[in-house]
Chains A and B, each alone.
Chain A
Amino acid sequence: MSLLSLSSLSLTIGQSKILKDINLHLHAGKCLGLVGESGSGKSMTALSIMHLLPHDSTLYGSIELEGVKLTELDEKALCQKRGDRMAMIFQEPMTALNPLKTIGNQIGESLLLHRDINRREAQEKSAQLLERVGLPPKHVSPKRYPHQLSGGQRQRVVIAMAIAMKPALLIADEPTTALDVTTQAQILTLLKDLIVRDNMALLLISHDLAVVADMADHIAIMKEGKIVEQGPVPELFDQLTHPYSQNLFKASTHSPKRSKPPLYFDDPSLSQTTQILHASMISRDYPLPRQFPTFKKRNFRAVNKLDLTIHGGQSVGLVGESGCGKSTLARTLLGLDAPQEGSVTIGQHNPFTATKETLLSLRKDIQIVFQDPNGSFNPRHSVGRSVAEPLHLHRHNISQKERMEKITQVFEQVGLNPSHASRYPHEFSGGQRQRLAIARALITHPKIIIADEPVSALDVSIRAQILDLLTHLREELNIAYLFISHDLSVVREITDEVLVMYQGEIVERGKTRDIFDNPRHPYTQKLIKAAPDLVATIERRKSENQDR
């Protein structure tokens, strides 16, 4: 008999139907993966199981956990189940922890609540739990506060809290989405270990098919509140029948089609063309607060003696984990934050010493696309106005008619209807907004675009479209890219050359193929090993199946 079973579960909130006829079964010691794009109802399914729903919602159908119908329990009985028999892990570990309590106390608290033990026993137990999730008290004191831990460590604390009562069911809602790839790999290993050794059932919710394919024994694919397809791993991947799941699979392994050959740094033709972006030995420091009692000046070096050259038409990737100095580097290369040492050259000029007129013409050559499509537009300006903003670089040498023509042209280039230019940002979807951001970058006909995680905030299918668009634009307009990302699969598909950045320094650089096939630096090796790869994972799962 299955541990958890949802049968013909439907959910309405207010007037809108959120979930429609969900049927799921999960056995102890197994992992069920729930995959779908944003708004597909994955998280609402999890919250329905926990009965943590908004007030105006109604559940139909039944949810059974260990033979008990949760749908028939009252709030008091549910409270005893929550945390004790079923527990949940959220995406953002910082908000899931109380910032004012030590991690030891936070774990102890749930023990005190559900078990008849005293404070000292709770402390001992929480130390054991921290040890269990890979935070041994020897190294990481339970007396620490959440802000003193890294993102991965915080997520471990959240997991420790969730498993404190040895729940039968653990629900993990995008547990690794906010984490770096190497940390993600560690957390996933920990979760796997919990399933096997503690015989826990895991409901893993993720937008990342590769992560789920790695973890789950059974996958359900959701779309618009419905399960469109479900089946065991890895067999399911051979038998995808629903067009949506086929699309999802295709988008996850999508590689933009390129007609032009790659352009490498050792290409002889490059020595004739001028470089469009050059940085030599740049360092960028940030001051740290002075500390009692010496009050010495202290600095944090975000970028350390870094060299970089990009020629016209090249596509260069910059890979690294959060905090490695990628975004600082981008701001310095854009000519916004001056480096403490070294020099930046855009075209022929140094943006930090150039005259005002030169600077205006320089800025036309270099533009940026940001990660978050929500924050990159002023909510109170029409998108046409925002997209045309870089035309300010022309000052008044541009007529209203030319301005309109240019807006129309870039809207068409990125595949949007120019008549929508008078609309406001909130009227567009995330993918459309990212197209708008690209349109804004294109409007001055730049020679290089710095793309800072341009697809990280997007759904898989939208991501594939944006990558296609970027590739297409590059070939058509001969733009160079500096493509900053933590996502190796994206960098692999779209760049010719890759730089690996670690703690402010470039530790490895070379042709993308070479680096991925044969990484030299230990950090690069670690990074590539940790990156989830859907095709390779499915192959591995299949061979595991045959061995059994």
Chain B
Amino acid sequence: MAQSTSSPFLTSPSLFIGGLISLIFVALALLSFFWTPHDALSVDILARLKPISTTYWLGTDQYGRDLFSMIMLGARNSIAVALVAVGIGILLGVPLGTWAAAKGGWLDEAFMRTGDFIFAFPALISAIMITALLGPGAINAIIAIGIFNIPVFARLSRGAALGLWTRDFILAARLSGKNAAHITWEHILPNIANLLIVQGTIQFSLGILAEASLSYVGLGTQPPMPSWGKMLFEAQTMMAFAPQLAIIPGLAIILTVLGLNLLGDGLRDWLDPKTTRKQEGDLLS
């Protein structure tokens, strides 16, 4: 009884751990706007390859830049790119998906087959192609990742909306003279919001991975701005005698993705009406 009334973040370990890790990285990214331990962009050859110490919390790289500061700026970068890319996916994908579900017929077919067409391309290879066409840079990386998020959200929201459209309360809304857009806004969206949040966190982690990959091949964030993917690339030549240069940004990527996936899993369990209903049942008994 006491358990089910307390915050879900305390009862579900995946929600707690995932939420905590994600929160730490977001906090680091936000902090980097105001303060970093050192200037992440200044090259100081004298201080190159310093080990982990109280001055350099995670040591320095071959150009003497502070690794911790670079991780903070890289987090800002990764989060910004992934967030905007997921935003593009939701803002374009959800309206397209719910529109297709509401209208049906050839429009539905056209949207979904276009989605299938986009899915047929390996996302990362195509993102590389797009950035190669548009030129490298953070903005183009966002566009490239965002485009592949659109069909994901379109498909998800269409499927969920189709199920809802057959429900009686939608029929009642139609009888109340509400048009499809109005019904979608009032009845469909609130009922698929939890699905979108869960998928959003998962796409967010995929976006971070994609940004790292694009930066690794030199098509994402451009120097001098640090990025986790680029840090991995630069560490490659030093692997033999300074493996920590690769391990630290690698760990940052793994932790963030793991944290977001845990958060997504936890949110799914928490928002799923079935598990919520079970908790209500516990409360009653």
A contact set with B: CB distance below 8 Å? 14-16, 331, 334, 336, 359-360, 363, 366-368, 370-372, 375-381, 386, 389-393, 426, 440
Contact = CB atoms under 8 A, between A and B. Distances in A.
B168 A375 contact: yes
Contacts of B186: 378
Nearest to A356: B177
Given A336-B171, A378-B186, 16 more contacts: A14-B285, A336-B174, A363-B176, A368-B171, A368-B172, A368-B175, A370-B172, A371-B168, A376-B169, A377-B169, A380-B191, A386-B172, A389-B173, A392-B178, A393-B177, A426-B280
Contact of A389 (B167, B168, B176, B277): B176
Contacts of B104: none
A15 B175 contact: no
Closest CB pairs A-B (n = 5): A376-B168, A370-B168, A390-B176, A380-B190, A375-B168
B187 interface: yes
A378 B177 contact: no
A426 B277 CA distance: 9
B135 interface: no
B13 interface: no
Given A15-B285, A377-B169, A390 B191 contact: no
Nearest to B174: A336
Contacts of B243: none
A379 B273 contact: yes
A375 B173 contact: no
Contacts, number: 59
Contacts of B169: 375-378, 386
A402 to B, nearest CB: 16
A372 B168 contact: yes
A488 to B, nearest CB: 24
B256 to A, nearest CB: 32
A377 B167 CA distance: 9
Contacts of A381: 187, 190
5 contacts: A14-B285, A16-B285, A336-B174, A370-B172, A392-B178
Contacts of B171: 331, 336, 368, 370
Nearest to A364: B177
Contacts of B174: 336
A331 B166 CA distance: 12
B273 A363 contact: no
Q: Which of A334, A372, A376 has the largest count of B CB atoms less than 10 A from its CB? A: A376
A440 B171 CA distance: 13
Interface in B149-208: 167-169, 171-178, 186-187, 190-191
Contact of B175 (A377, A380, A390): A390
B50 to A, nearest CB: 55
A378 B176 contact: no
Nearest to A366: B175
B180 to A, nearest CB: 12
Nearest to A386: B169
Given A14-B285, A15-B285, A359 B177 contact: yes
A389 B172 contact: yes
Contacts of B191: 378-380
A336 B168 contact: no
A439 to B, nearest CB: 12
Given A380-B191, A426-B280, A367 B175 contact: yes
Contacts of B273: 379
Nearest to B273: A379
A70 B66 CA distance: 73
Q: Which of B168, B174, B277, B280 has the largest count of A CB atoms less than 10 A from its CB? A: B168
A360 to B, nearest CB: 5
Q: Which of B167, B169, B190, B280 has the largest count of A CB atoms less than 10 A from its CB? A: B169
B280 A392 contact: no
A393 B176 contact: yes
Interface string B23-57: 00000000000000000000000000000000000
Nearest to A388: B176
Given A14-B285, A375-B167, A360 B172 contact: no
A393 B179 CA distance: 11
A456 B27 CA distance: 56
A312 B190 CA distance: 39
A317 to B, nearest CB: 21
Interface string B271-284: 00100010010000
Contacts of A372: 168
Contacts of A389: 172-173, 176, 178
Interface string B241-281: 00000000000000000000000000000000100010010
Contacts of A390: 172, 175-176
Q: Which of B168, B175, B190 has the largest count of A CB atoms less than 10 A from its CB? A: B175
Contacts of A370: 168, 171-172
Contacts of A334: 175
B175 A360 contact: no
Contacts of A16: 285
Nearest to B178: A392
Contact of A363 (B167, B177, B190): B177
